[in-house]
C-alpha cells in the first residue's frame, strides 16, 4: 500500500443471503482513497454504495477480498480491537441518521467522546460547540423526535465529527438539507478533510455538492465504473 493511501479495497465481494435469495451487492470492487481527499461515491439506488462504505468502516464484513484502512485490515482484528479502532478512527453518518431517541442532541453527539473515555461534562461541552457549528446551538437539549429531518441529519453529522476521526464516512449527508444548509455542512466537512491525515468518503445523489469532491467514483450494479476528477467527466 502506498504511504498516501488511506483506504484500499481489493477484489471486494459482498453477497447478501436472505431466505435463500442471494443478492450480489459488491462484485469485485477495487478502490483506492488517498489521505487528505474527499471522495464521493455516486450511482443508482441499490448499486451497493451503502454496502461498500459499511465494509470500509468495518460495520459489515465482506465475503471476499480485502479492505485496508490506514494500513489495517479490519477483518483480521479481534472484535474488541475492531471496536476500539473504529471508535478512535472512524466517524459514520448513517443514511437513516440512527440517533438514540431517548438522548438529547448534545448527548447523542457526545457518545463517541464518552466511548473514548472523556468525562461527560467535557464531552457535552464539545458536543455543544459542534452543534453550534452545524447551526443547532439553540437545540442542544432537544430530543431527536423534536427535531426536523434536516436537523436530525445535522446532529448525526456533528456526532460523526466530534471525536476528530481520521476517516469520515457519510451516507447522503445533505439529502434532507436545503441548499444553503447543505452548503454550510459541506464547508464544514471540507474543512475537516483539508487536514492531510484525514479522509472523507461521501455517498450522494446531490449534484449540488459534487463540486466539493476531489474525486468521484461512479458505481453501478456492484461495480466501480470509473473514478473521475470532476462531475463533468461522469
Ligand atoms: N441487509 C440486506 N439484506 C439483503 N439484501 C440487501 C441488504 N442490504 C442491501 N441489500 C441489497 O444489496 C444491494 C445494494 O444495496 P445498498 O444498500 O448497498 O445500495 P445503495 O447503493 O446504498 O442504494 P440507495 O441509493 O437506495 O441507498 C441492493 O440490491 C439491496 O437490495
Ligand atoms: Mg444506500
Q: pTM here?
A: 0.95
Instruction: Quote the CA–CA distance of 13 and 108 in Å, as a whole number.
Output: 33
Once rounded to an integer, what is the mean pLDDT over residues 41-45? 96
Nearest CA owner, ligand 1 atom 20: 46
What does the DSSP assignment read for 184-230?
Answer: HHHHHHHHHHTSTT-EEEEE---GGGGGG-SEEEEEETTEEEEEESS
Cα 221 to middle of ligand 1, angstroms: 10
**pLDDT confidence tier of residue 19, bands split at 50, 70 and 90:** confident
Which CATH architecture does the domain made up of 5-229 adopt?
A: 3-Layer(aba) Sandwich (3.40)
| Nearest ligand by distance to the CA of 221 | 1
Is the CB–ligand 1 distance for residue 42 below 6 Å? Answer: no
Q: Cβ(51) to ligand 1 under 6 A?
A: yes
**Do residues 9 and 30 lie in contact, with contact meaning Cβ atoms separated by under 8 Å?**
yes
Residue with cell 431517548: 102
Mean pLDDT over each residue of the chain, to the nearest integer? 94
In the chain, where do the E strands start and end? Answer: 5-18, 21-34, 38-42, 64-69, 72-73, 90-93, 167-171, 199-203, 215-220, 223-228
Is the CB of residue 71 below 6 angstroms from any atom belonging to ligand 1? no
Distance of CA 167 to the CA centre of its chain: 8
Minimum mean pLDDT among 22-36, 94-108, 186-200: which range? 186-200
Structural contact between residues 158 and 127, judged by C-beta atoms closer than 8 angstroms = yes
52 CA distance to ligand 1 centroid (A)?
10
Dihedral in degrees, nearest 10, Cα atoms 14, 20, 23, 24: 40
Ligand 1 contacts CB of residue 46 (under 6 A): yes
Protein residue with its CA nearest to atom 28 in ligand 1 = 46
Query: How far does residue 49's CA lie from ligand 2's centre (Å)?
Result: 6
Q: Where are the chain's structural domains?
A: 5-229
- Mean pLDDT value across residues 205-226: 95
Kindly state if the Cβ of 44 falls inside 6 Å of ligand 1: no
Indicate whether 39 pLDDT > 90: yes
Mean pLDDT, rounded, for 100-128: 97
The predicted structure's pLDDT at residue 2: 55
Ligand 1 atom having least distance to the Cα of 52: 18
Residue 217 has pLDDT above 90, yes or no: yes
Neighbours of ion ligand 2 (CB under 5 A): 50
Amino acid at each position: 500500500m502506498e504511504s498516501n493511501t488511506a483506504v484500499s479495497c481489493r477484489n471486494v465481494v459482498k453477497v447478501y443471503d436472505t431466505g435463500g435469495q442471494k443478492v450480489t451487492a459488491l462484485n469485485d470492487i477495487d478502490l483506492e482513497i488517498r489521505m487528505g481527499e474527499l471522495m464521493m461515491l455516486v450511482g443508482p439506488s441499490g448499486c451497493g454504495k451503502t454496502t461498500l462504505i459499511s465494509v470500509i468502516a468495518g460495520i459489515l464484513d465482506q465475503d471476499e477480498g480485502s479492505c485496508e484502512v490506514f494500513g489495517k485490515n479490519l477483518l483480521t482484528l479481534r472484535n474488541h480491537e475492531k471496536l476500539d479502532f473504529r471508535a478512535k478512527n472512524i466517524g459514520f453518518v448513517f443514511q437513516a441518521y440512527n440517533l438514540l431517541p431517548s438522548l438529547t442532541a448534545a448527548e447523542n453527539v457526545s457518545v463517541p467522546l464518552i466511548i473514548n473515555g472523556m468525562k461527560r461534562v467535557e464531552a457535552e461541552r464539545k458536543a455543544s460547540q459542534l452543534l453550534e457549528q452545524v447551526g443547532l446551538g439553540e437545540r442542544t437539549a432537544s430530543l431527536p423526535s423534536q427535531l426536523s429531518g434536516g436537523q436530525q441529519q445535522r446532529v448525526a453529522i456533528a456526532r460523526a465529527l466530534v471525536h476528530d476521526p481520521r476517516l469520515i464516512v457519510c451516507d447522503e449527508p445533505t439529502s434532507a438539507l436545503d441548499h444553503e444548509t447543505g452548503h454550510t455542512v459541506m464547508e464544514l466537512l471540507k474543512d475537516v478533510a483539508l487536514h492531510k491525515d484525514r479522509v472523507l468518503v461521501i455517498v450522494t445523489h446531490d449534484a449540488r455538492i459534487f463540486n466539493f469532491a476531489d474525486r468521484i467514483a461512479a458505481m453501478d450494479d456492484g461495480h466501480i465504473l470509473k473514478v473521475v476528477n470532476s462531475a463533468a467527466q461522469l
